[in-house]
Amino acid sequence: MSHESLDDRRRALEEAFFAKQDAVLRKKLAEPAELRAKKDAYSAVSGITDEAVLDALAKLDVTPETLAALSLVPLVAVAWADGSIAAKERAAVLRAAGETGLTAGAPGHAMLETWLQSAPPASLVESWKGYIAAITDGMDHAARRALQAPVMDRARQVALAAGGFLGIGLKMSDSEEKMLNELSKAFGV
């Protein structure tokens, strides 16, 4: 084998090696920007600002759209807790959906409308609780609380939306309060 042929092969090998190394480095440089964008999207749809929780969600590869839809399950469950949805509760759920970016025409909005027309099956809440338990597995107490707070605050606003007797006062029904407690326990705090 000639010395020239050996040099050509060495160069090709070096170029292949460095091309692969360059690709790895480019990916490492791009990851922080992608991660930041993903975490910003999580924060926008959920109201979560705790970096540890946002990191945990990013590691789980939860999509912002999934998180937005999942954050609405407790609102729907609380709205249906007493067997019917008052107009003010429906408006509160739709307002919260809009705050998470789930507006008319957005993916998942039609499903939300279906849930507001007729009560979703109990299995939806059970699935949600299982999903939350899986997401929070391995999170410390502070991270669990940070994930829980915005979701449960929105659900509480729905419960209070219809008001007390004849819509007067800040009172929720016993069934709504029971549902809030049940949902809150899913976070393990």
**Residue range 157-187, pLDDT digits in tens:** 999 987 755 555 567 888 999 999 999 999 9
Containing structural domain, residue 19: 1-189
7 vs 189, which has greater pLDDT?
Answer: 189
The pLDDT value given to residue 180: 95
Q: How far are the Cα atoms of 42, 71, 113, 183 from residue 153, in angstroms, in the given order?
A: 17, 11, 21, 12
Q: Are 127 and 181 in contact (CB under 8 A)?
A: no
Residues of the chain above pLDDT 70, percent: 78
How far, in Å, CA of 43 to CA of 47, rounded?
5
**Model confidence at 10, in pLDDT bands (50, 70, 90)?**
low
Rounded CA-CA distance 93/57 in Å is 24
pLDDT at 108: 73
pLDDT at 31: 63
155 within 8 A of 74, measured Cβ to Cβ: yes
Handedness of CA 111, 58, 148, 48 (dihedral sign): negative
Q: What is the mean pLDDT of residues 107-113?
A: 80
The whole model's pTM is what? 0.68
Q: What mean pLDDT do residues 135-141 have? A: 86
Domains in the chain: how many in total? 1
Between 76 and 60, residue with greater pLDDT = 76
